[in-house]
Amino acid sequence: MRFYSLLLITVLVCISCANPPFPEKHPQNYELFVTQRDTYAAVSPDGAKIAYYHSSGQIPEPIDYPSGLYVIDKDGNNRNLIIRGSILDPSWSPDGQWIVFSRLGAIQKIKLNGDSLTTLENPNSYGFFHPDWSPDGQNIYFDRADAIGDLSSIYKTDSDLNNATPILSGIGVGLRAPEISPDGQTLIGMKASHEFEGWQIFTVSFGEDSIEQQLTFNGDNRNPTWSKSGNEICWSKNVQIFIMDENGSNSKFLHYGISPDWLNANTIVFSFANGDYSKEVLYTIKTDGSEINQLTF
């Protein structure tokens, strides 16, 4: 009898080891629990509107709120569906009339009224992601998912999505999620390497003497974005929103969340869980950590 009791205990222990308990809900693991998601917030040039991707998490898709690219007013009102589908990393044209985004590994742009969808196809097996419109409106920068054997992982195309070419030859290799500074002189993005742990944030300047500078050195740092002045940077680190000076100094924690963007000089919009962790929604917060407001529901 004792043998069988020991055998039963051993079996139960093995089952427990093979199926560890699901983690408890915590702000830094909320993505394990949400079923609907509002993310990739992108603020219009005038700060009046916010584009974002909504994933319904339902099959079949609900008629009243299907997955797609949406635009709302900065206070969360007047939600408008621009295009259905899985839409990643929207970015506004400087005149506020177009939105460029990634869908199924291709770069696309569309007018704010939903017309004139234009596509830059990826000719090979790799994908194009993270488009960002230049401040002068002439170019769109984006990254290539697999840059093995290439001189650069960053590309640019003109605003009509023609003539995609690699840039930053010999420097900036492996940079992802590029965003150009308001003065058009510097790209910021994130890198992963065997030389350091997690994703780290880098800047790369343009010109004959391109300079690459590492701004973060620990943790998992993602999706950096310039302030309107270019003097500050906001990003997410280990599912927490931080801001810092443009040279990487004076970092400050604001709130748990991901995918931030600057609404104005002292307000950030970002994604985080709602009260019961059933949805990922959009919030705004002041750069001093005050006035947290939920925008989507």
Is the pLDDT at 48 greater than 80? The verdict is yes
Looking at per-residue pLDDT, the higher value among 291 and 193 belongs to 291
Cα–Cα–Cα angle for 157, 53, 274, rounded to 5 degrees: 145
pLDDT at 147: 53
Query: Residue 19 — pLDDT band, cuts 50, 70, 90?
Result: low
Give the SS3 label for residue 30.
helix
How far apart CA 153 and CA 169 sit, in angstroms, is: 9
Least Cα distance to 240 among 272, 282, 201, 287 occurs for 272
- Give me the mean pLDDT over the 47-59 stretch: 97
pLDDT at 20: 65
| Cβ atoms within 10 Å, residue 165 | 9
Least Cα distance to 27 among 290, 287, 283, 286 occurs for 283
Percent of the chain with pLDDT over 90: 76
pLDDT at 22: 74
Least Cα distance to 240 among 257, 252, 225 occurs for 257
The tens digit of pLDDT for each residue in 273-286 reads 999 999 999 999 99
Residue with tokens 């058009």: 184
| Cβ atoms within 10 Å, residue 100 | 24
- Give me the mean pLDDT over the 255-263 stretch: 98
How far apart CA 190 and CA 208 sit, in angstroms, is: 22
How far apart CA 71 and CA 52 sit, in angstroms, is: 6
- For the chain, which domains are there? 26-294 (2.120.10.30)
What does the H/E/C string look like for 32-96? HCCCEEEEEEEECCCCCEEEEEEECCCCCCCCCCCCEEEEEECCCCCCEEEEECCCEEEEECCCC
Is the pLDDT at 12 greater than 70? The verdict is no
Straight-line distance from the first to the last Cα atom of the chain, in angstroms, rounded to the nearest whole number: 58
Cα–Cα–Cα angle for 125, 224, 92, rounded to 5 degrees: 75
pLDDT at 196: 83
